[in-house]
Amino acid sequence: METVLSGIRSTGNLHLGNYYGAVRNFVKMQEEYRCFFFIADLHSLTTHPKPENLHDNIRKVLSEYIACGIDPDRATIYIQSDVPEISELYLLLNMNAYVGELERTTTFKEKVRKQPENVNAGLLTYPVLMSADIIIHNADKVPVGKDQEQNLEMARKFARRFNHIYHVDYFTLPEPFNFGSELIKVPGLDGTGKMGKSEGNGLYLIDEPKEIRKKVMKAVTDAGPDKPNAPKPEPVENLFYLLRLMSDVSTVAHFEEAYNNCTIRYGDLKKQLAEDIILFTTPVRERILEIYNDDEYLSRVVRNGAEKARESASKTLRDVREIIGYKGF
Ligand code: TYM
């Protein structure tokens, strides 16, 4: 049976981009594959969270995973820092990862541009840690959004390089995955770019209805089409993208037609979009709160997850140490 793995950083609550780009696939894949889904709390350290917040950040994402439908009895759900084998594999992989290639990754260059005051070595080697996450379970498929494509390429590169250096065919080369189609990028509400945790343009699963209405009503648009069948500018296309995700086909067709014959009122579209988002998020939000408050359940999930993940990870690490040449005395 093929192995699936994916993770989400515990730097904030889950937004619709995380859900549609990644978590929705996790839920479907757990039916058919051997699945590992984890919370990337080591990766979250690149943003320097305060010790008093770290644990709660993890607890939130864990509750959100389960509320979205990831079933701890089917998939292995665990916390990255509970599996020290990952950190050791990361160290070993770092020896064959070159500073030049790491500096050239788009996400690193972006961070350097956006936060020149905090260009830490963890950011530089971020793709190496991600590779360790993936190959420690020899994952075949990695459900992720479009923004992770380059990191997946790096994971394949490091896996291939390890095999090459040690003349083995040990690591599987992992493939990014999205059910039935290409990887996706869910746009934000600010007119350009993707929905993201650090972009401040997200709609979160935990958002209250009034918050969702407020955010959607404030979304960037334009003055409206000035001729029939005009192409949509990016902010408008983004709203339609969200509408296609959240609303039924007849609603989408209605607003497409209104756009094409220049009778569209963005206010109406936004109201409908907000209500359709609320319809989806309300039961999820209720489940999140229920799970978040269930100490006993969460600690059982985390303990079981760590045990299963370590069983798989320690086997890989034993093999890797042997391949590299470590021997017992
Ligand atoms: P993170 O926490 O930023 O995002 C988690 C997942 O959500 C996807 N995603 C999106 N998909 C579509 N549209 C969007 N606007 C959008 N925003 C986020 C991401 O592509 C991702 O799949 N480095 C990773 C976490 C990670 C990981 C791994 C993932 C650590 N190790 C190993 C896979 C395998 C990250 O920061 O994702």
Q: Which two tokens stand for residue 44?
A: 């979250």
Secondary structure E strands in the chain: 3-9, 34-40, 76-79, 141-143, 175-177
**By alpha-carbon position, which residue is closest to atom 27 of ligand 1?**
7
Q: Dump pLDDT digits (tens) for 148-176.
A: 999 999 999 999 999 999 999 999 999 99
Residues contacting 249, CB < 8 A, separation 6+: none
Looking at the CA of residue 146, tell me the nearest atom of ligand 1.
Answer: 20
Distance CA 247, CA 138 (A): 37
> What pLDDT shows up at residue 315?
98
Task: Work out the pLDDT band at 241, boundaries 50, 70, 90.
Answer: very high
219 pLDDT above the threshold of 80: yes
Cα 13 to ligand 1 centroid, rounded to whole Å: 12
Mutate to test the pocket of ligand 1, among 144, 153, 182, 199 (most ligand atoms within 8 A of CB): 144
DSSP 166-187: TT---S---EEE-TTS-----B
**By alpha-carbon position, which residue is closest to atom 36 of ligand 1?**
9
Q: Dump pLDDT digits (tens) for 92-129.
A: 999 999 999 999 999 999 999 999 999 999 999 999 99
What is the chain's alpha carbon radius of gyration, rounded to the nearest angstrom?
Answer: 21
For the sheet with 3-9, list strands across it.
76-79, 34-40, 3-9, 141-143, 175-177
> What pLDDT shows up at residue 180?
72
Mutate to test the pocket of ligand 1, among 3, 8, 76 (most ligand atoms within 8 A of CB): 8
Looking at the CA of residue 40, tell me the nearest atom of ligand 1.
Answer: 30
Cα 127 to ligand 1 centroid, rounded to whole Å: 12
User: Do 29 and 61 meet the contact criterion of CB atoms below 8 Å apart?
Assistant: no
At residue 232, what are phi and psi to the nearest 5 degrees? -90, 130
- % of the chain surpassing 90 pLDDT: 95
Question: Considering only CA atoms, which of 186, 104, 181 is closest in space to residue 150?
Answer: 104
> What pLDDT shows up at residue 79?
98
What is the separation of C-alpha 223 from the centre of its chain, rounded to a whole number of angstroms?
34
User: Do 42 and 7 meet the contact criterion of CB atoms below 8 Å apart?
Assistant: no
Residues with CB under 6 A from ligand 1: 5-9, 17-18, 21-22, 40, 43, 130, 133-134, 142, 144-145, 147-148, 184-186, 194-196
Looking at the CA of residue 126, tell me the nearest atom of ligand 1.
Answer: 23
Cα 257 to ligand 1 centroid, rounded to whole Å: 34
> What pLDDT shows up at residue 117?
94
Site of tokens 């889950």? 14
Looking at the CA of residue 18, tell me the nearest atom of ligand 1.
Answer: 7
> Domains in the chain, ordered, with CATH?
3-186+295-324 (3.40.50.620), 209-289 (1.10.240.10)
Q: Count Cβ atoms within 10 A of the Cβ of residue 159 and give its class: 0-12 exposed, 13-18 middle, 19 or more buried.
A: buried
At residue 204, what are phi and psi to the nearest 5 degrees? -100, 150
Residues contacting 2, CB < 8 A, separation 6+: 33, 34, 140, 141
User: Do 5 and 133 meet the contact criterion of CB atoms below 8 Å apart?
Assistant: yes
Catalytic residues: 111, 194, 197
Question: Considering only CA atoms, which of 239, 177, 156 is closest in space to residue 3?
Answer: 177
- % of the chain surpassing 70 pLDDT: 100
> What pLDDT shows up at residue 225?
93
Cα 103 to ligand 1 centroid, rounded to whole Å: 20
> What pLDDT shows up at residue 261?
95
